[in-house]
Amino acid sequence: MAADALIELRGVNKHYGKLHVLQDIDLTVGRGEVVVIIGPSGSGKSTLCRAINRLETIESGTIRLDGVPLPEEGRALAELRAEVGMVFQSFNLFAHKTVLANVMLAPVKVRRKKKEEAAQRARELLDRVGLAAHAEKYPAQLSGGQQQRVAIARALAMEPKALLFDEPTSALDPEMINEVLEVMRQLARDGMTMVVVTHEMGFARSAANRVVFMADGRIVEDRTPEEFFTAPRSERAKDFLSKILKH
| Residue ranges that bind ligand ATP, judged by CB under 6 A | 16, 19, 21, 39, 41-47
CA angle 44-48-50, nearest 5°?
Answer: 120
Give the CA distances from residue 105 to residues 102, 115, 122, 232, 236, in Å, rounded to whole numbers and listed in that order: 5, 9, 10, 44, 43
The least distance separating ligand ATP from the CB of residue 44, rounded to whole angstroms, comes to 4
Cβ nearer to ligand ATP, comparing 25 with 207:
25
- Report the Cα–Cα distance between both ends of the chain, in Å, rounded: 40
Interaction partner, residue 98 (Mg ion, ligand ATP, none; CB < 5-8 Å by kind)? none
Where along the sequence are the contacts to Mg ion (CB under 5 A)? Answer: 46
Asked if residue 5 lies in contact with residue 68, where contact means CB atoms within 8 angstroms, the answer is no
Cβ nearer to Mg ion, comparing 46 with 148:
46
The least distance separating Mg ion from the CB of residue 32, rounded to whole angstroms, comes to 25
Interaction partner, residue 41 (Mg ion, ligand ATP, none; CB < 5-8 Å by kind)? ligand ATP
Q: CB burial class (10 A; 0-12, 13-18, 19+) of residue 151? A: buried
Interaction partner, residue 44 (Mg ion, ligand ATP, none; CB < 5-8 Å by kind)? ligand ATP
Give the CA distances from residue 62 to residues 27, 34, 36, 121, 211, in Å, rounded to whole numbers and listed in that order: 11, 21, 21, 34, 22
CB-closest chain residue to Mg ion: 46
Cβ nearer to Mg ion, comparing 166 with 221:
166
Cβ nearer to ligand ATP, comparing 21 with 125:
21
The least distance separating ligand ATP from the CB of residue 25, rounded to whole angstroms, comes to 12
Strand runs labelled E in 31-97: 34-38, 60-65, 68-69, 84-87
d(CA 152, CA 192): 12
Cβ nearer to ligand ATP, comparing 49 with 126:
49
